Amino acid sequence: MNWANRLTLSRLVLTVLFVAALNSSWHYGRTLALVIFLLAGVTDFIDGEIARRYAIVTDFGKLMDPLVDKIMVAAAFISLVPLKAVPAWAATTVVARDFLITGLRMMAGARGRVLPAERLGKQKTSWQVVTVIFFLALLSLSELHYADQGSIWWLRGWNNAGPVLVWITVALTIYSGLLYAWRHRDLIVPNE
């Protein structure tokens, strides 16, 4: 297993640590969750750079990198629901789309094909990550007492930006999923 693939798998461990930190009762758990999530994002960038730079792109990496990204983002969205940061319908949409696309990839794998992530899917993931980081940063600022709803005017403005980010993310999530399914519709309804 090459280093790019090892970094991809390390994000699974970071995801578990992220969820544990975010859901812990430790006073600085949300700040730690933010740091872990950012670290996981850095490993995502680095593993792709290593794979491309040293020409060690593998089928394992093509499949696992987007899958691990989906697990990380789904875990984040699900964990943010009980904290009232992200509405349940938005988290459900993100997770459902990712399950459906993963199912499509499994169908392709059964036919000997590998469906790599597409550009729009990567942009969707970027918006999802930005949305998660936004809410984690707000939770961290609140936890560190740098922000207080009643005393800091700019935090109210940022809180108003949250729903806009959620809507953009959900719209892009749905659109990219439908487009991906359409491009690979031969797997869903094969021409016989």
Give the CATH number, domain containing residue 176.
1.20.120
pLDDT of residue 171: 97
Residue 141: pLDDT band with limits 50, 70, 90: confident
The mean per-residue pLDDT over the stretch 128-155 comes to 77
159 pLDDT above the threshold of 70: no
Helix (H, G, I), strand (E, B) or coil at 119: helix
* Domain housing 146: 3-185
Is 68 contained in some domain?
A: yes
Is 139 contained in some domain?
A: yes
Per the model's pLDDT, the better-predicted residue between 114 and 15 turns out to be 15
Is 192 contained in some domain?
A: no
φ, ψ for residue 191 (rounded to 5)?
A: -80, 115
Say if residues 170 and 114 touch (Cβ distance below 8 Å): no
d(CA 8, CA 89): 28
Is 166 contained in some domain?
A: yes
56 pLDDT above the threshold of 60: yes
- Which residue matches tokens 């990712």? 98
Is 191 contained in some domain?
A: no
Is 123 contained in some domain?
A: yes
C-alpha dihedral over 102, 96, 5, 185, to 10 degrees?
Answer: 30
Tens-place pLDDT, residues 92-122? 999 999 999 989 988 998 888 878 778 898 8
CA angle 62, 67, 68 (to 5 degrees): 105
Is 14 contained in some domain?
A: yes
pLDDT of residue 52: 85
- Structure-token pair, residue 174: 């749905």
156 pLDDT above the threshold of 70: no
36-40, 58-62, 75-79: lowest mean pLDDT where? 58-62
**Domain count along the chain:** 1
